[in-house]
């Protein structure tokens, strides 16, 4: 669980602990994805969502052709779909043996919803990334108290001592300050991960 959760809610085996801004947004997005996909999966099929596709290769002097028709699965065979039949009646069976008919269905609403959700997630991440990289350093004054702490971050003991939750009396922060604190903690975590992976190459080669 997000360490911020243990800090803010030490007695929390709650199901959906909305701990911090940064763990809400991915959770909300994931849940949204899950629930938004259930209706499209059962959406009624519009006429452009099913088809029977018959591909017939060249035969004697007739060139190849593709036939599409909007029929149900039991009618998806050469006799129902290939219209007009290019060969006379006694050749129909030989011609139809060569044709291959497939029944296909798709859900256009699913595709539309998924692509649009995906693009909005990417857009939101892009905006947040632009904010973090460009705007955030400008509006935050560098805090003199956080600088010495960076050196001590290497020591595990101070870190482990720092994660012991303070007694309940000191929790007099407003919601905004708590969110700020959680975001700072998340940024520190990501920075630590970045150091491990990109700088020290300790993990993930």
Which positions from 88 through 147 interact with another protein, judged by CB under 8 A? 94, 97-100, 102, 104-108, 110-112, 114-118, 121-122, 125-126, 129, 132-133
**Residue 165 DSSP SS3:** coil
Residue window 181-200: x/- pattern of binding to another protein, with contact defined by CB under 8 A: -----x--xx--xx-xxx--
Distance CA 158, CA 154 (A): 9
Distance CA 150, CA 194 (A): 14
Binders of another protein among residues 159 to 178 (CB under 8 A) are: 160-161, 163-165
Phi first, then psi: what are they for 148, rounded to 5°?
A: -65, -30
Residue window 21-60: x/- pattern of binding to another protein, with contact defined by CB under 8 A: -xx--xx-xx--xx--x---x------x--x---xxxx-x
The size of the interface with another protein (CB under 8 A), counted in residues, is 76
Q: Is 64 one of the binding residues for another protein (CB under 8 A)?
A: yes
Distance CA 52, CA 71 (A): 6
Name the minimum Å distance from CB 56 to another protein. 8
Structure tokens at 49: 């969502």
> Which whole-number Å values give the CA distances from 66 to 25, 54, 69, 186, in the listed order?
47, 6, 10, 56
Smaller CB distance to another protein: residue 92 or 144? 92
């Amino acid at each position: 669980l997000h360490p911020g959760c243990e800090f803010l809610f030490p007695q929390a085996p709650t199901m959906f602990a909305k701990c911090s801004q940064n763990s809400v947004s991915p959770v909300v997005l994931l849940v949204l994805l899950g629930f938004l996909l259930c209706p499209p999966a059962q959406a009624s099929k519009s006429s452009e969502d099913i088809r029977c596709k018959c591909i017939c290769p060249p035969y004697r002097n007739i060139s190849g052709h593709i036939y599409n028709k909007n029929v149900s699965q039991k009618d998806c065979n050469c006799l129902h779909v290939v219209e007009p039949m290019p060969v006379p009646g006694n050749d129909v069976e030989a011609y139809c043996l060569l044709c291959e008919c497939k029944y296909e269905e798709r859900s256009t609403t699913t595709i539309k919803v998924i692509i649009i959700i995906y693009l909005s997630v990417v857009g939101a991440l892009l905006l947040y990334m632009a904010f973090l990289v460009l705007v955030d350093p400008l509006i935050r004054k560098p805090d003199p108290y956080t600088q010495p702490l960076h050196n001590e971050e290497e020591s595990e003991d101070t870190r482990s001592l720092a994660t012991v939750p303070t007694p309940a009396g000191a929790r007099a922060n407003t919601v905004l300050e708590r969110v700020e604190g959680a975001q700072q903690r998340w940024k520190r975590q990501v920075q630590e991960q970045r150091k491990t992976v990109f700088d020290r190459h300790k993990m993930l080669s």
